[in-house]
């Protein structure tokens, strides 16, 4: 494939990944890595390097806008990212010590349960009563934003902060050990355990994934996994797409975002169970 | 029982500004490097190596800041090294955003969040040092 055609094709693919990533709070790796490896024949190491840059580009493009509009919660994001990064560093050290196949199976079943709870919550637009979680009040894990779709002011406070923090640490450990992104887990923990509005969960996840990716980007760089000619069109496309995504989500219902998120959870659950059984989709 | 407040202060705006400026500056350098590369006919002559061979370093792969600096200092300049500076800038942006938030929290006497930001920052530094040790 000529370099010009490759760059243009990757640019437009990344544009789409950026839109989806910004809306769903994922870095786009879940979409980009399979596309780059299967359709464009890119080496898995270069694809993962491109994915880590795409996460940072999505985060920079989307979180800048979400923080201004109040959809992304800086304090909740920073509080939870402590758990995720420390989990990821722990996971990186544990890698090779604990058998990964069992972990993949456990994770697959945990995600299947998450898919089930997501289906049960599909119709919930916003959490109804106000949380009285003491840690949430103490750490100011609350906020408000103007919902353009609902045409009203929405205020919220996190629940079950201990559960959310623990889940984030666990997600960090697993992502460090299994080399998978943890954007989806962050959204699930904020939406399901901490009961934040779905749009706040994905927007805050967008801010957090940039930080967790930045923590591992240096390692990918020094391994020589970041190929400028592959990463450049990805970064440009993803950032432009993320910017478009932030405008789309403003006019979406929380329930719509959750419906779009469901297939990602189902796919992740299935791929983890299959990996645990020794079947790799890629 | 208190109602949730809108915790939307200058810190959010500043962090948003850093993310936007850092992201756009990184992107501009990436595009500039690609532009120079295209002007030098790179897109016509280059056969893109998509497979990673052990020990080989194809054009466009840099594994240390020193290699990037060498590429920029070379004459004629290595345009892909210019793009690599943009990528490094992009990678540093989230950390810089937290580094900027830290003094803002201190100035607002919000020591709880200042401590959290400091913890995040130190973990980012630890991972950078780990990356350096890997090389």
Q: What is the mean pLDDT of residues B79-106?
A: 94
pLDDT digits (tens, 9 = 90+) for A161-186: 999 999 999 888 887 777 666 788 88
**Mean pLDDT, all residues of chain A:** 87
The token pair at A57 is: 């580009």
CB < 8 Å to B58, chain A: 227
Query: For B87, which of A216, A223, A231 is closest by C-beta distance?
Result: A231
What is residue A123's predicted lDDT score, i.e. its pLDDT?
A: 82
CA distance A82 to chain B (A): 6
Q: Regarding predicted confidence, which is higher, B91 or A125? A: B91
Q: Are B99 and B19 in contact (CB under 8 A)?
A: no
Phi, psi of A227 (to 5 degrees): -100, 115
What is residue B10's predicted lDDT score, i.e. its pLDDT?
A: 84
- Look at the block and give the residue holding tokens 């420390």: A86
Q: What is the mean pLDDT of residues A140-150?
A: 89
Q: Which residue, among A154, A207, A186, has the nearest Cα to A22 in the 3D structure?
A: A207
What is residue A179's predicted lDDT score, i.e. its pLDDT?
A: 66
pLDDT digits (tens, 9 = 90+) for A196-217: 999 999 999 999 999 988 888 8
CB < 8 Å to A158, chain B: none
A9: which residues sit within 8 A by CB, 6+ positions away? A1, A40
- Rounded to a whole number of angstroms, the CA Rg of chain B reads 20
Q: Are A191 and A173 in contact (CB under 8 A)?
A: no
A60 CB-contact burial (10 Å; exposed 0-12 / middle 13-18 / buried 19+): buried
State how far the Cα of B46 lies from the Cα of B124, in Å rounded to an integer.
Answer: 36
Q: What is the mean pLDDT of residues B31-60?
A: 78
Domain extent listing, chain B: 10-44+62-134
Q: What is the mean pLDDT of residues A73-93?
A: 89
State how far the Cα of B108 lies from the Cα of B83, in Å rounded to an integer.
Answer: 38
**Mean pLDDT, all residues of chain B:** 86
Q: Which residue, among A224, A268, A213, has the nearest Cα to A88 in the 3D structure?
A: A213
* Apex A99 CA angle, B130 and B55, nearest 5: 45
pLDDT digits (tens, 9 = 90+) for A225-264: 899 999 999 999 999 999 999 999 989 998 998 999 899 8
What is residue A281's predicted lDDT score, i.e. its pLDDT?
A: 66
Helices (H) and strands (E) counted in chain A, each on its own, are 11, 2
- pLDDT classification of B4: cutoffs 50, 70, 90: low
Could you give the 3-state DSSP secondary structure of residue A146? strand
CA distance A209 to chain B (A): 9
State how far the Cα of A179 lies from the Cα of A104, in Å rounded to an integer.
Answer: 11
State how far the Cα of A256 lies from the Cα of A269, in Å rounded to an integer.
Answer: 21
CA distance A201 to chain B (A): 16
- pLDDT classification of B47: cutoffs 50, 70, 90: low
- Report the percentage of chain A scoring pLDDT > 90: 33
pLDDT at B8 over 60: no
Contact B116 A79 (CB under 8 A): yes
State how far the Cα of A164 lies from the Cα of A168, in Å rounded to an integer.
Answer: 6
CA distance B120 to chain A (A): 6
- pLDDT classification of B46: cutoffs 50, 70, 90: low
Q: What is the mean pLDDT of residues B45-53?
A: 68
- pLDDT classification of B100: cutoffs 50, 70, 90: very high
For an interface test with A, give the residue of B45, B87, B112 to mutate (most A CBs within 10 A).
Answer: B87
Reported pTM: 0.90
Q: Are B26 and A59 in contact (CB under 8 A)?
A: no
What is residue A61's predicted lDDT score, i.e. its pLDDT?
A: 87
Q: What is the mean pLDDT of residues A104-113?
A: 85
What is residue B5's predicted lDDT score, i.e. its pLDDT?
A: 62
What is residue A198's predicted lDDT score, i.e. its pLDDT?
A: 92
The CA-atom distances, in angstroms, between A201 and each of A40, A52, A224, A236, B38 are 32, 21, 33, 25, 41
Contact B8 A46 (CB under 8 A): no
CA atoms within 13 A on the CB side of A140: 17
Query: For A82, which of B48, B60, B116 is closest by C-beta distance?
Result: B116
Q: Which residue, among A215, A168, A206, has the nearest Cα to A67 in the 3D structure?
A: A206
pLDDT at A224 over 90: no
For an interface test with B, give the residue of A44, A214, A236 to mutate (most B CBs within 10 A).
Answer: A214
- For residue A36, what is the DSSP state? I
Could you give the 3-state DSSP secondary structure of residue B50? coil
A147: which residues sit within 8 A by CB, 6+ positions away? A153, A154, A199
Contact B19 A67 (CB under 8 A): yes
The token pair at B135 is: 């090389």
Annotate A225-262 with DSSP letters as a single string: --BHHHHHHHHHHHHHHHHHHHHHHHTS-HHHHHHHHH
pLDDT at B1 over 60: no
- Report the percentage of chain A scoring pLDDT > 70: 97
What is residue A44's predicted lDDT score, i.e. its pLDDT?
A: 84
Phi, psi of B27 (to 5 degrees): -60, -40
Angle between helices B65-73 and B79-107 (to 10 degrees): 130
């Amino acid at each position: 494939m000529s370099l010009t055609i490759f760059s243009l094709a990757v640019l437009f693919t990344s544009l789409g990944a950026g839109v989806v990533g910004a809306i769903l709070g994922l870095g786009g790796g879940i979409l980009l890595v399979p596309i780059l490896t299967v359709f464009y024949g890119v080496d898995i190491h270069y694809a993962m390097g491109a994915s880590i840059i795409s996460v940072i580009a999505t985060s920079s493009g989307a979180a800048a806008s979400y923080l201004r509009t109040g959809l992304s919660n800086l304090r909740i994001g920073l509080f939870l990212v402590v758990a995720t990064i420390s989990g990821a560093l722990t996971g990186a050290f544990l890698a090779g010590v604990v058998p990964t196949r069992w972990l993949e199976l456990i994770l697959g079943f945990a995600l299947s349960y998450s898919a089930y709870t997501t289906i049960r919550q599909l119709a919930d637009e916003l959490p109804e009563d106000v949380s009285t979680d003491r840690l949430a009040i103490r750490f100011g894990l609350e906020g408000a934003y103007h919902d353009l779709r609902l045409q009203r002011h929405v205020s919220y406070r996190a629940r079950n902060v201990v559960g959310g923090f623990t889940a984030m640490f666990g997600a960090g450990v697993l992502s460090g050990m299994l080399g998978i992104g943890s954007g989806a887990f962050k959204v699930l923990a904020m939406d399901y355990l901490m009961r934040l509005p779905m749009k706040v969960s994905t927007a805050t996840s967008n801010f957090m994934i940039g930080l967790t990716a930045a923590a591992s980007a240096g390692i990918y760089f020094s391994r020589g996994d970041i190929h400028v000619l592959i990463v450049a069109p990805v970064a440009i496309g993803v950032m432009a797409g993320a910017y478009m995504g932030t405008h789309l989500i403003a006019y979406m219902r929380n329930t719509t975002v959750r419906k779009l998120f469901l297939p990602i959870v189902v796919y992740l659950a299935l791929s983890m169970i299959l990996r645990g059984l020794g079947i790799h989709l890629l | 029982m208190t109602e949730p407040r809108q915790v939307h202060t200058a810190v959010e705006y500043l962090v948003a500004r850093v993310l936007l400026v850092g992201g756009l500056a990184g992107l501009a350098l990436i595009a500039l490097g690609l532009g120079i590369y295209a002007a030098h006919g790179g897109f016509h002559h280059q056969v893109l190596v998509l497979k990673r061979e052990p020990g080989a370093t194809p054009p466009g792969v840099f594994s240390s800041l020193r290699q990037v600096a060498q590429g920029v200092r070379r004459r004629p300049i290595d345009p892909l090294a210019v793009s690599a500076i943009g990528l490094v800038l992009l990678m540093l942006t989230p950390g810089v955003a937290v580094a900027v938030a830290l003094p803002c929290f201190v100035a607002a006497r919000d020591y709880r969040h200042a401590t959290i930001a400091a913890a995040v920052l130190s973990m980012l530094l630890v991972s950078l040092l780990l990356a350096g040790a890997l090389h």
